[in-house]
Chains A and B, each alone.
Chain A
Amino acid sequence: MPPMAGVWPRRTCPSWSWPAKPMDGFLDALLLDAGYNARLVAIGAGLLGLSAGAAGTFLFLRKRALVSDAVAHSTLPGIALAFIAMVALGGDGRWLPGLLIGSALSAWAGLLAVQAMTRRTRLSEDAAIGAVLSVFFGLGVVLLTVIQTMSAGRQAGLESFLLGSTAGMLYADAVTIAVGGALSVLAIWILRRPMTLVTFDAEYAAARGVNVPRVDLMIMGLVMAITVIGLKIVGLILIVAMLIIPPVTARFWTDRSGRVIWIAALVGGVSAYTGAALSAAAPALPTGPIIVLISAFLFALSLFFAPARGVAAALIARRRFQRRVHRRQGLLALARDEIIHDGLTLRVLQDEGLIRPDGVATEAGRAQAAKVARDEHRWAVAREVHQDSGLTGRYDGLTPIEEVFTPDEIEEFDRRIGGPVGVA
Chain B
Amino acid sequence: MRKSTGQATLALAAEAGRTKLPDPVPGDCPMAIRGLTVSYGEKPAVFSVDARFAPGAMTAIIGPNGAGKSTLLKAALGVIPRVSGEVRVFGQPVEQARDRIAYVPQRASVDWDFPATVMDVVLMGLYRQVGLLRRLTGAHRAAARACLDRVGMADFAARQIGQLSGGQQQRVFLARALAQEADLYLLDEPFAGVDAATERAIIDVIKTLREEGKSVIAVHHDLTTVRRYFDHVFLINVRKVAEGPVDEAFTEAALNAAYGGSLAAPYLSQLELAG
Q: Is B13 part of the binding interface, using a Cβ–Cβ cutoff of 8 Å?
A: no
Residue numbers in B under 8 Å from A191 (CB-CB): 132
Q: Is A419 part of the binding interface, using a Cβ–Cβ cutoff of 8 Å?
A: no
- In the assembled complex, the Cα of A259 lies from the Cα of B128 at a distance in Å of 21
Q: Quick check: A193 and B127 within 8 Å, CB to CB?
A: yes
A249 CB, min distance to chain B CBs, angstroms: 13
Q: Quick check: A200 and B130 within 8 Å, CB to CB?
A: no
Query: Closest A-chain residue to B124, C-beta based?
Result: A197
Contact with B along A349-386 (1 / 0, CB 8 A): 00000000000000000000000000000000000000
- A201-B120 contact in complex given A61-B114, A194-B132, A207-B77, C-beta closer than 8 Å: no
Q: Quick check: A256 and B116 within 8 Å, CB to CB?
A: yes
Q: Is B9 part of the binding interface, using a Cβ–Cβ cutoff of 8 Å?
A: no
Chain A at the B interface: mostly helix, strand, loop or mixed? helix
Within 8 A of A (CB), among B87-134: 95, 98, 101, 103, 105, 109-111, 114-117, 120-121, 124, 127-128, 130, 132-133
Q: Quick check: A208 and B98 within 8 Å, CB to CB?
A: yes
Which residue of A197, A206, A256 is within 8 Å of B79 (Cβ)?
A206
Q: Quick check: A257 and B105 within 8 Å, CB to CB?
A: no
- A200-B105 contact in complex given A193-B130, A194-B132, C-beta closer than 8 Å: no
Q: Quick check: B105 and A201 within 8 Å, CB to CB?
A: yes
- A203-B74 contact in complex given A208-B98, A255-B160, A256-B116, C-beta closer than 8 Å: yes
A292 CB, min distance to chain B CBs, angstroms: 24
Within 8 A of A (CB), among B127-147: 127-128, 130, 132-133
Q: Quick check: B120 and A197 within 8 Å, CB to CB?
A: no
Query: Closest B-chain residue to A204, C-beta based?
Result: B105
Q: Quick check: B109 and A257 within 8 Å, CB to CB?
A: no
- In the assembled complex, the Cα of A116 lies from the Cα of B130 at a distance in Å of 34
A203 CB, min distance to chain B CBs, angstroms: 5
Residue numbers in B under 8 Å from A196 (CB-CB): 124
- A204-B115 contact in complex given A193-B127, A209-B128, C-beta closer than 8 Å: no
Which residue of B103, B128, B195 is within 8 Å of A390 (Cβ)?
B195
- In the assembled complex, the Cα of A199 lies from the Cα of B127 at a distance in Å of 14
Q: Quick check: B120 and A256 within 8 Å, CB to CB?
A: yes
Q: Quick check: B127 and A200 within 8 Å, CB to CB?
A: no
Interface size class of B (residues with CB under 8 A): 20 to 34
Q: Is B196 part of the binding interface, using a Cβ–Cβ cutoff of 8 Å?
A: yes
Residue numbers in B under 8 Å from A207 (CB-CB): 74, 77-79, 101, 103, 105, 186
Q: Which of A199, A208, A256, A260 has the most CB of B within 10 A?
A: A208
A276 CB, min distance to chain B CBs, angstroms: 29
- In the assembled complex, the Cα of A258 lies from the Cα of B195 at a distance in Å of 31
Q: Is A190 part of the binding interface, using a Cβ–Cβ cutoff of 8 Å?
A: yes
Query: Closest A-chain residue to B160, C-beta based?
Result: A255
Which residue of B98, B115, B132 is within 8 Å of A209 (Cβ)?
B98
Query: Closest A-chain residue to B70, C-beta based?
Result: A203
A231 CB, min distance to chain B CBs, angstroms: 30
B119 CB, min distance to chain A CBs, angstroms: 9
Q: Which of B130, B132, B162, B197 has the most CB of A within 10 A?
A: B132
Which residue of A200, A206, A256 is within 8 Å of B110 (Cβ)?
A200
Q: Quick check: B77 and A255 within 8 Å, CB to CB?
A: no
Q: Quick check: A193 and B116 within 8 Å, CB to CB?
A: no
Q: Quick check: B127 and A203 within 8 Å, CB to CB?
A: no
Residue numbers in A under 8 Å from B78 (CB-CB): 206-207
Contact with B along A179-219 (1 / 0, CB 8 A): 00000000000110110110111011011110000000000
Query: Closest B-chain residue to A200, C-beta based?
Result: B114
A270 CB, min distance to chain B CBs, angstroms: 20
- In the assembled complex, the Cα of A163 lies from the Cα of B97 at a distance in Å of 51
- In the assembled complex, the Cα of A251 lies from the Cα of B114 at a distance in Å of 10
B139 CB, min distance to chain A CBs, angstroms: 17
Q: Quick check: B132 and A193 within 8 Å, CB to CB?
A: yes
Residue numbers in B under 8 Å from A200 (CB-CB): 110-111, 114, 116, 121, 124
B191 CB, min distance to chain A CBs, angstroms: 15
Q: Is A148 part of the binding interface, using a Cβ–Cβ cutoff of 8 Å?
A: no
Q: Quick check: A251 and B115 within 8 Å, CB to CB?
A: yes
Residue numbers in A under 8 Å from B95 (CB-CB): 209
Q: Is A388 part of the binding interface, using a Cβ–Cβ cutoff of 8 Å?
A: yes
Residue numbers in A under 8 Å from B120 (CB-CB): 256-258
- A257-B132 contact in complex given A206-B77, A208-B98, A390-B195, C-beta closer than 8 Å: no
Residue numbers in A under 8 Å from B124 (CB-CB): 196-197, 200-201, 204
Q: Quick check: B115 and A256 within 8 Å, CB to CB?
A: yes
B121 CB, min distance to chain A CBs, angstroms: 8
Q: Quick check: A208 and B115 within 8 Å, CB to CB?
A: no
Q: Quick check: A203 and B196 within 8 Å, CB to CB?
A: no
Residue numbers in A under 8 Å from B132 (CB-CB): 190-191, 193-194
B185 CB, min distance to chain A CBs, angstroms: 11
Q: Which of A190, A204, A257 has the most CB of B within 10 A?
A: A204
Q: Quick check: B109 and A260 within 8 Å, CB to CB?
A: no
Residue numbers in A under 8 Å from B186 (CB-CB): 207
- In the assembled complex, the Cα of A280 lies from the Cα of B143 at a distance in Å of 52
Q: Which residues of B contact A (CB under 8 A)?
A: 74, 77-79, 95, 98, 101, 103, 105, 109-111, 114-117, 120-121, 124, 127-128, 130, 132-133, 160, 162, 176, 186, 195-197
Residue contacts A-B, CB under 8 angstroms, 13 given: A191-B132, A194-B132, A197-B124, A203-B74, A203-B103, A207-B78, A207-B79, A207-B186, A208-B98, A209-B128, A255-B115, A256-B117, A257-B115
Q: Which residues of A contact B (CB under 8 A)?
A: 61, 63, 190-191, 193-194, 196-197, 199-201, 203-204, 206-209, 251, 254-260, 388-390
The 3 A-B pairs of least Cβ separation, nearest first, read A207-B103, A255-B160, A209-B98
Given contacts A208-B103, A255-B162, A389-B195, 11 further A-B contacts (CB under 8 A): A193-B127, A193-B132, A197-B127, A203-B103, A204-B124, A204-B176, A209-B128, A254-B115, A255-B160, A257-B115, A390-B196
